[in-house]
Amino acid sequence: MATQKKGEPEASLWERMERPAPAQRAALTPQKIAAVAVRVADAEGFAAVTMRRLAAELGVAPMAAYRHVSGKEDLLALMVDLVSAELTPAPGATGWRDVLRESARATRAMALRHRWMADLPTPLHALTPNRFAVAERQLAALDGHGLDVDTMMAAFRTVTAYVGGMVRSEVLLSEYLRQQEWESPDEARRGLAPQMNYLMGTGRYPTYQRYIHEATRKDDPSWEFETGLDCVLDGIAARFGI
């Protein structure tokens, strides 16, 4: 087996995973470790995911897990890659707008299933095979419309940033309501009434006050997400004439 020379960069996690594992380690794989980590994070939050906890769940010694996953960063990348595999291409989505829209919807649904992702520093964990596959599908959909590659990437990242920001806001709001033990939006409004009544009573926010009294979709995050997504996609279409 070739040895790493001093000064050479370490092989990436994904390159190491493609190497054949020794027979005695075949029963424990990075994929199995990641699957257990995702299950724990889904149930208890990312803070509950430790190598010691995973080893106990898998019925192995902690050092056995470390032979496959060198630390928390590798583990997090594996978890992100695993859940990103859920973002399969939508049947019938062919045009750039349909591809980006369906990917945005699927990403929101995936993030709401795995709420721990809202706490992650996303750019740090973008370099995984399944995340690259998601990006490739959207960039390929934008290709062929007269855009240069820089513009294609800017459009793709704009949609990605919108989705990430909206989903994070939705998840964190839900978590805030849970922490306050408010079981419904109406209960939350009652809990926040003293602050809101004071602020609106100052007369400084007439447009916001109109929203409070006239809005009919305050508790419809899906509608808000879709409407904002249309704004982003309309902007791309109008700006570049595609």
Provide the CA 182 distance to its chain's centre, in angstroms: 25
Query: What is the pLDDT averaged over residues 141-147?
Result: 96
For 52-62, how does the pLDDT look when each residue is reduced to its tens digit (9 = 90+)? 999 999 999 87
Provide the pLDDT for residue 2.
46
> Residue 137 — very low, low, confident or very high, per pLDDT cuts 50/70/90?
very high
Q: Token pair of 215, please? A: 């809005």
Which domains does the chain show, CATH number per domain?
13-84 (1.10.10.60), 96-240 (1.10.357.10)
Contact status, residue 69 vs residue 75, Cβ threshold 8 Å: yes
Residue 26 has pLDDT above 60, yes or no: no
> Residue 22 — very low, low, confident or very high, per pLDDT cuts 50/70/90?
low
For 162-221, how does the pLDDT look when each residue is reduced to its tens digit (9 = 90+)? 999 999 999 999 999 999 999 999 999 999 999 999 999 999 999 999 999 999 999 999
For 91-113, how does the pLDDT look when each residue is reduced to its tens digit (9 = 90+)? 888 899 999 999 999 999 999 99
For 71-97, how does the pLDDT look when each residue is reduced to its tens digit (9 = 90+)? 888 899 999 999 999 999 888 888 999
> Residue 13 — very low, low, confident or very high, per pLDDT cuts 50/70/90?
confident
Provide the pLDDT for residue 87.
94
Q: Token pair of 69, please? A: 């996953």
State which amino acid sits at residue 162: Y
Phi then psi for residue 192, to 5 deg, are: -95, 0
Provide the pLDDT for residue 199.
96
